[in-house]
Amino acid sequence: MSGPEREPRAGGGAVLAVCVLLVGEFLAIFDVSVVNVLLPVVQRDLGAGDAQTYLVVACYGMAYASLLVTGGRLGDRYGIRPLFLVGTGLFGLASVGCGLAPSIEVLVAARAAQGVGAALLFPQVLAGIQTVLPPARRGAAVGAFGAVLGAGSTLGQLGGGVLTRLDLAGSGWRSAFLVNVPVCAAVLVAGRALLPGHRPRAGTGRPDLPGAALLAVTVAAAVLPWSLPGSGPGRSVPALLVVAVAGTAFVRWERRLTRAGGAPLLHTALFRRWTFGVGLVLCLVFFGTQVPFYVVLSQTAQDGAGLSPLASAGLYAGLGTAFLAASVAAGRADPRRAVLLTTCGPALMAAGYLGLSTLRADQLHPADVPATVFLVLNGLGAGVVAPTLIRFVLTGVDAPLSGVASGLLATAQQIANSVGVMIAGALFRASRGSGGSGVLSGFHGALWYFTALAAVTVALAVVVARGQEGERARREAVETAQAVGDARAAGRER
């Protein structure tokens, strides 16, 4: 039986609980990209082939993306603390497996287990923020969530190279995984003490295992093929067919389960507000400009400007700092300024993209002032949008469904990352020629694509904001009419 609902707290314990959740979020996001610059070293050390090496990245993303919604639903059903702690524990154990892996096969399996752990813990972060904080303080926490989201992605590019260069205890690239272990241990201890232990009332009935399996297949087919090299028609067409068949079967099963009075994985109440669905599309568009841009930027800096992987990662210092500052400020901003923020943010991003398109390849260097300015503009714009976007998607979502809503948001992000890298990479290759100037031409082609996505982000944000304003006006009108009716009824009783 569900325990009694607790009122959100506002003291120091609540702040510490949010900090624990954010550390877990950082681990999940950091490990998405931490191995990107390590792949050549891992391949040489373990004697792996190209396809096996790319699976080190792809299997984490596939397991993570395909189980996020299931992790969120389990959190809604069984409680935030147990799912967060189980996910963190599994992530820590899998990190040990990654750090001690004697072969590429073991490393790939351990990375997949890491992805499962991340999928269990990540949806509990936003759900936990809603649980432990009162509404007046959630905006700043969501801003911090957006800041960590950006910091994990940008620092992951840098962290793998730095940790390998430090060569902690002679572990080389393995330190990028082993460093997770003491952090996970600390999070487990603090989470057990600080996170709320009551179980939310999220419905009865058996867990929707068939729905979870069908959704996992659908998302895996939407993510894995684009995460591997060589995405021609021989791979993309079968993947799209799997997405269509499994996705259709999932929708039909969820409808059937709902009609039968069961507990579906995706509750229809989530989509009664059309702004939630449009908000997910907005997530797909916006996040399609993030990791794909980092990948193309790193490739241009290394192939066009001749930078080392570690030096190219230094390009993200100013961008990441600007993202952090802007996302925290946006998280504290008045929600009524959402339209302004989501219009100005993509405009700053577009200014950064267009500015970078005016530079020579050899100017893509951490010490170049114009390059730094344009990257900072991009970071400021993205930092403004990220927390505001998250508030868009979650506005009006009932607390018992916040975990699955968070899982859907993160799933949209991962799909946008994978498909966006494929599209941006295809444009990069189609636009480039030979030599440094050819690399720069490819970079320019991808930048125009990112600029177009920034413009679409503005349009969709305005649509979502207007829809939410209309819903708010209708809700206030109903409340006013009810108050007037109550007042008249009270007058008649007198």
With a CB cutoff of 8 Å and minimum separation 6, the contacts of 288 are 416, 417, 419, 420, 423, 453
How is residue 488 written in tokens?
């008249």
Same fold, 8-196 and 269-487: yes
Q: Tell me the pLDDT tens digit for each residue of 193-244.
A: 998 876 554 455 577 788 888 888 888 887 777 666 655 556 677 878 888 8
Residue 470 has pLDDT above 80, yes or no: no
Place of tokens 């948001």: 409
How wide is the angle at C-alpha 190 spanned by C-alphas 186 and 196, nearest 5°?
145
Q: Tell me the pLDDT tens digit for each residue of 119-148.
A: 999 989 988 888 888 877 777 787 778 778
Which one is predicted more confidently, 101 or 2? 101
* 14 in Cβ contact with 129 (< 8 Å): no
Task: Calculate the alpha carbon distances from 317 to 136, 142, 405 in Å.
Answer: 32, 23, 31
Residue 314: DSSP 8-state = T
Structural Rg of the chain based on CA atoms: 23
What type of residue sits at position 402? S
With a CB cutoff of 8 Å and minimum separation 6, the contacts of 419 are 222, 226, 288
Q: What is the pLDDT of residue 222?
A: 77
Place of tokens 């944000």: 461
- Distance of alpha carbon 238 from alpha carbon 221, whole angstroms: 9
Residue 2 has pLDDT above 60, yes or no: no
What type of residue sits at position 299? Q
Q: What is the pLDDT of residue 98?
A: 93
Q: Tell me the pLDDT tens digit for each residue of 154-177.
A: 777 677 767 777 767 777 888 889
- CATH architecture for the domain at 269-487: Up-down Bundle (1.20)
Give the number of C-alpha atoms closer than 13 A to the C-alpha of residue 182, restricted to the C-beta side.
Answer: 3
What type of residue sits at position 152? G
pLDDT category of residue 4 using cuts at 50, 70 and 90: very low
Mean pLDDT confidence for 271-292 = 82
How wide is the angle at C-alpha 363 spanned by C-alphas 359 and 367, nearest 5°?
135
Residue 280: DSSP 8-state = H
Which one is predicted more confidently, 228 or 314? 314
pLDDT category of residue 10 using cuts at 50, 70 and 90: low
How is residue 494 written in tokens?
């007198």
* 439 in Cβ contact with 306 (< 8 Å): no
With a CB cutoff of 8 Å and minimum separation 6, the contacts of 40 are none
Residue 114 has pLDDT above 70, yes or no: yes
Residue 228: DSSP 8-state = S
- Distance of alpha carbon 415 from alpha carbon 408, whole angstroms: 11
The fold of 8-196 is Growth Hormone; Chain: A; (1.20.1250)
- Distance of alpha carbon 116 from alpha carbon 71, whole angstroms: 9
Q: What is the pLDDT of residue 353?
A: 94
Q: What is the mean pLDDT of the chain?
A: 80
Percent of the chain with pLDDT over 70: 82
pLDDT category of residue 281 using cuts at 50, 70 and 90: confident
If phi > 0 it is left, if psi is from -120 to 50 it is alpha, else beta; for residue 47 that is: left
Which one is predicted more confidently, 476 or 210? 210
Residue 5 has pLDDT above 50, yes or no: no
- Distance of alpha carbon 283 from alpha carbon 286, whole angstroms: 5
Torsion angle, CA of 457/432/294/112, rounded to 10 degrees? 100
How is residue 134 written in tokens?
């009162």
- Distance of alpha carbon 202 from alpha carbon 197, whole angstroms: 15
Which one is predicted more confidently, 154 or 78? 78
* 404 in Cβ contact with 69 (< 8 Å): yes
Q: What is the pLDDT of residue 182?
A: 95
What type of residue sits at position 95? S
Give the number of C-alpha atoms closer than 13 A to the C-alpha of residue 128, restricted to the C-beta side.
Answer: 31
Place of tokens 């487990």: 188
Nearest to 6 by CA among 200, 203, 202: 200
With a CB cutoff of 8 Å and minimum separation 6, the contacts of 102 are none
E strands, 209-365, in order: none
Residue 263 has pLDDT above 80, yes or no: no
What type of residue sits at position 262? G
Which one is predicted more confidently, 370 or 137? 370
Task: Calculate the alpha carbon distances from 409 to 72, 318, 386, 391, 438 in Å.
Answer: 10, 27, 12, 11, 37
What are the residue ranges spanned by the domains of the chain? 8-196, 209-264, 269-487
